[in-house]
Amino acid sequence: MITLESCPICSGDRITQFRQAGIAPRVIHEIMPGVKVNAAVISRYSVCQSCNLIFQNPRMSDSELNKFYSQGVYRKTLNLTAEQKDKDELYRTKIDSEIIKRYVGKVKSHLDIGCSRGYLLDEIGAIVKAGVEAGIDDVTVKGIKIYAKMSQVSHKKFDLVTAIHVLEHVGKPLDYLKTMSKFIGKDGYLVVEVPTWKSPGGPLRLAHLYHFEPDVLKLMCKQVGLKVMHVEFTPHLMLICKLTT
């Protein structure tokens, strides 16, 4: 675990403890040899007084986060069966894909970062379909080129780049957003979705390192050269963006 002394978005050092803590998930913890208890993991958060970003502090290091997702630990903390998780992803995919199709239209190439099972790629139906997923074995949809990291993606530009419930999970979201924007082709779109306070399950969870208010996420987009074209609440926060140049 690491403790941040400044805001990971604006680098401001005026940070204070946030008023709420996240309690999830419940885990079996061995407090002494042979003695195990069912305990809740409490996540604490800070808030930046300069840009209003809410971020988990302390949080897992980048290497710990890599193990958390690539080794399947994240899915085990959701307290859902595989069937329940798939049902939730399919429901969210239906809502998100309808919005994207309505606003973006048909696309020939699609990169979904944090693609999970691959349902959104399948639903959008582009000819070229690629996904980034740390847990490669989690992807079940066929016909998708899968990469464990963005740095491995061979196709350089896409008509559509999506990151659905990804930014709140990564250690350096501004850098991550900047890297994602490099995959946007000419006249292409980037679609980002993150939780809101009204999202099912709430925003303050162990895996959620950040909570982005709309103004904070818009500021981040501007910093990396993105223009927000459309904002939608699903009830999650969805931003549809294009490159400014």
Q: What is the pLDDT at residue 23?
A: 73
Q: Can you give the pTM of this predicted structure?
A: 0.87
Q: What is the pLDDT at residue 30?
A: 83
Q: What does the chain look like in DSSP terms, one character per residue?
A: -B--SS-TTT----EEEEEEEEEEEEEEEEEETTEEEEEEEEEEEEEETTT--EEESSB--HHHHHHHHHTTHHHHTT---HHHHHHHHHHHHHHHHHHHHHHH---SEEEEET-TTSHHHHHH--SEEEEE-SSGGG---SS-EEESSGGG-----EEEEEEES-GGGSS-HHHHHHHHHTTEEEEEEEEEEE--TTSTT-S--TT--EE--HHHHHHHHHHTTEEEEEEEESSSEEEEEEE--
Q: What is the pLDDT at residue 219?
A: 92
Q: What is the pLDDT at residue 114?
A: 93
Query: Which residues of the chain are under the pLDDT cut of 50?
Result: none
Domain boundaries, the chain: 67-243
Q: What is the pLDDT at residue 202?
A: 67
Q: What is the pLDDT at residue 21?
A: 84
Q: What is the pLDDT at residue 201?
A: 67
Q: What is the pLDDT at residue 163?
A: 97
Q: Does domain 67-243 have CATH number 3.40.50.150?
A: yes
User: Could you read off the pLDDT of 156-195 as tens digits, one per residue?
Assistant: 899 999 999 999 999 999 999 999 999 999 999 999 999 8
